[in-house]
Amino acid sequence: MRIETERMYLYPLSDEEMWLVIEKESDPEMKQAYTEMLEGSLSNSDKRIWYAIWNMELKDDPETIVGDFCFKGFGDDGVIEIGYGLKEEYRHHGYMTEAVKAITEWALSQDGVKQMEAESDAENIASQKVLFRSGFVSNGKMGEEGPRFVYGGKKGMKL
């Protein structure tokens, strides 16, 4: 399974690769999040791609991972939430917007997926810009991490 964008390959990690990510992670919050992703993958093997860590790898430099993302499970309601992160040195180059657009389009083409959602820290304006540019709009609700967004289908919106 691999999604191709203009500049990247996006693909889910295997369970073994996810273990390695967890072992190397020094941030306790991220370590916990990655552990939850692995647990979701292991307990939902038929739908593991909806729980796995996905890498964002540069096409022209296959050893370079610029960031990662995840789908936060596959609920019965068909609503898929995404989460993402980009390594600092690759920020402000459009990689995350490119990835979010691609994964949203791909996910919505899958059986049973009805809606895409995301949540962003209220202070993380860069993340909110990624969501707006990718066609997400605020739904006026607050989540655990901050404002919630839903895919509205309009691409290229500005914040």
Task: State how beta strands 61-71 and 79-86 pair.
Answer: antiparallel
Place of tokens 């979701």: 40
What is the rounded average pLDDT for all residues in the chain? 92
Q: What is the pLDDT of residue 152?
A: 87
SS3 154: coil
Residue 135: pLDDT over 80: yes
Number of helices (H), then strands (E), belonging to the chain: the values are 4, 8
Sorted by where each starts, the structural domains of the chain and their CATH numbers stand as: 3-114 (3.40.630.30)
Q: What is the mean pLDDT of residues 138-159?
A: 76
**The two three-digit tokens of residue 157, written as one number:** 């919106």
Query: For 52-109, how does the pLDDT look when each residue is reduced to its tens digit (9 = 90+)?
Result: 999 999 999 989 999 999 999 888 899 999 999 999 999 999 999 999 999 999 999 9
Q: What is the DSSP string of 100-127?
A: HHHHHHHHHTSTT--EEEEE--TT-HHH
Q: How far, in Å, are 5, 60, 125 from residue 115 at the CA level?
A: 21, 32, 23
Residue 45: pLDDT over 80: yes
Q: What is the pLDDT of residue 140?
A: 86
**Rounded CA separation 58/67 (Å):** 10
**The two three-digit tokens of residue 21, written as one number:** 């990510």
